[in-house]
C-alpha cells in the first residue's frame, strides 16, 4: 500500500452573516492580508501538506484577487451549507487523491492556525485508525438556560471540549460519512454517526473561529503577534 499523503481542504463558501460586513468575512483584511490568504499561506508553508484545495461558491467575485500561492487550487463548488461545501470539494478531488489519503478540513474563518499546530495534529493522528480534530478543553463554567433567559442548571464541564479545525480524516470514509450525515456542523460529527470515535488533540486559543464583528481585533492581534513572540505554536 502507498504511504498516505496529507491534503488540506478549506471550506470558504460562507456569506459571513453574523459578521455583518456586507461581504464574506473570509476576505476581511487582517494584519494586511485577507483572512483566507493567511490560511492558504499557512498550509503552503506546512511541509507535510501535498496540496491545498479551497472551496468557494460559484458566484465568488473576490477569490481571483488573491495572489497565486503554489500548491493551492481553488474549487468553485461551494454548497448551501458547510457540510455541502466540504462534501462537494471532496467529491471534486476524488480522482486526485487516494481513498486512504488524509484530508485536513480547516475553516477559512480560523486564520490563527499555525504550522506547528498542523504538525502536532498530524503527529498525533498519522497512525490512528479513525483520525480526529484539534479541540480545546472547556474552561468556563457552563449554564443551561431556560426559556426566559434564566439559569436552569449548571452543567459540568468535565470531559467537555470545544471543537476546532483542522479535522483530519481519510478521504473515502469522510466523504461517505458526510453523504450519510444529516445536518452536521463538523466532520467529526459525521464520523461519530458512523459509530467511530475521533481523537481529540489539544489546539490553541489563537485558532478560534472569527464569527462576530468583535472577533476581528483579537484575530489581528494574534496574527501580528505570530511574528513577534517565539512561542512554538
Ligand atoms: N462555509 C462554507 N460553505 C457554506 C457555509 C460555510 O464553505 N455554505 C465555510 C465558511 O466560509 C467558513 C466555515 O465554513 O470558513 C465555517 O463557517 P462559519 O464560521 O459559520 O462561516 P459563515 O457561514 O460564512 O458565517 P455565518 O454562519 O455567520 O453566515
Ligand atoms: Mg455558517
Residue 126 has pLDDT above 70, yes or no: yes
| 106 within 8 A of 52, measured Cβ to Cβ | no
Residue 172 has pLDDT above 80, yes or no: yes
* C-alpha span between 161 and 169 (Å, rounded): 19
What is the phi/psi pair of residue 202, to 5°?
-65, 125
* Overall number of domains in the chain: 1
Is residue 1, in this structure, part of any structural domain at all? Answer: no
pLDDT at 216: 97
Is residue 231, in this structure, part of any structural domain at all? Answer: no
Is residue 115, in this structure, part of any structural domain at all? Answer: yes
Residue 159 has pLDDT above 60, yes or no: yes
Q: What is the DSSP string of the chain?
A: -PPPPEEEEEE-----GGGTSSS-GGGSEETTEEHHHHHHHHHHH-TTEEEEEEE--TT-SSGGGSPP-TTEEEE----SSHHHHHHHHHHHTTTTS-TTSEEEE--TT-TT--HHHHHHHHHHHTT-SSEEEEEEE--SPEEEE-TTSSEEEEEP-TT-EEEEEEEEEEHHHHHHHHHH-SS-SSHHHHHHHTT--PEEEE--GGG----STTHHHHHHHHHHHTTT-----
Is residue 228, in this structure, part of any structural domain at all? Answer: no
pLDDT at 227: 53
Is residue 212, in this structure, part of any structural domain at all? Answer: yes
* C-alpha span between 134 and 113 (Å, rounded): 10
State which residues form the domain around 142: 6-223
Return the percentage of the chain with pLDDT > 90, whole number: 94
Ligand 2 centre from 1 Cα, in Å? Answer: 38
Is residue 229, in this structure, part of any structural domain at all? Answer: no
Ligand 2 centre from 86 Cα, in Å? Answer: 13
Question: Mean pLDDT, the chain, as a whole number?
Answer: 96
| 114 within 8 A of 226, measured Cβ to Cβ | yes
Return the percentage of the chain with pLDDT > 70, whole number: 96
Is residue 57, in this structure, part of any structural domain at all? Answer: yes
Is residue 233, in this structure, part of any structural domain at all? Answer: no
Nearest atom in ligand 1 to 110's CA: 15
Per residue in 63-97, pLDDT (tens digit) is 999 999 999 999 999 999 999 999 999 999 999 99
Per residue in 103-114, pLDDT (tens digit) is 999 999 999 999
Average pLDDT value for residue range 16-32: 97
Ligand 1 centre from 165 Cα, in Å? Answer: 13
CATH number at residue 39: 3.90.550.10
| 80 within 8 A of 36, measured Cβ to Cβ | no
Residue 232 has pLDDT above 90, yes or no: no
Residues with CB under 6 A from ligand 1: 11-19, 25-26, 55, 78-82, 85, 107-109, 209, 211
Amino acid at each position: 500500500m502507498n504511504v498516505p499523503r496529507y491534503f488540506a481542504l478549506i471550506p470558504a463558501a460562507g456569506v459571513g452573516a453574523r459578521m455583518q460586513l456586507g461581504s464574506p468575512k473570509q476576505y476581511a483584511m487582517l494584519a494586511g492580508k485577507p483572512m483566507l490568504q493567511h490560511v492558504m499561506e499557512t498550509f503552503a508553508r506546512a511541509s507535510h501538506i501535498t496540496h491545498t484545495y479551497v472551496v468557494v461558491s460559484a458566484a465568488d467575485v473576490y477569490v481571483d484577487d488573491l495572489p497565486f500561492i503554489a500548491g493551492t487550487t481553488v474549487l468553485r463548488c461551494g454548497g448551501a451549507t458547510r457540510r455541502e461545501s466540504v462534501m462537494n470539494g471532496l467529491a471534486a478531488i476524488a480522482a486526485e487523491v487516494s481513498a486512504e489519503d488524509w484530508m485536513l478540513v480547516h475553516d477559512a474563518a480560523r486564520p490563527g492556525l499555525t504550522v506547528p499546530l498542523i504538525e502536532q495534529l498530524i503527529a498525533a493522528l498519522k497512525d490512528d485508525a479513525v483520525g480526529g480534530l484539534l479541540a480545546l478543553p472547556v474552561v468556563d463554567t457552563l449554564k443551561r438556560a431556560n426559556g426566559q433567559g434564566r439559569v436552569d442548571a449548571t452543567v459540568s464541564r468535565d470531559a467537555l471540549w470545544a471543537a476546532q479545525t483542522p479535522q483530519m480524516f481519510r478521504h473515502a470514509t469522510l466523504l461517505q460519512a458526510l453523504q450519510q450525515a444529516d445536518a452536521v456542523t463538523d466532520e467529526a460529527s459525521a464520523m461519530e454517526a458512523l459509530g467511530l470515535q475521533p481523537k481529540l488533540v489539544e489546539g490553541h486559543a489563537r485558532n478560534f473561529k472569527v464569527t462576530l464583528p468583535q472577533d476581528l481585533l483579537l484575530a489581528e492581534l494574534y496574527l501580528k503577534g505570530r511574528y513577534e513572540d517565539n512561542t512554538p505554536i
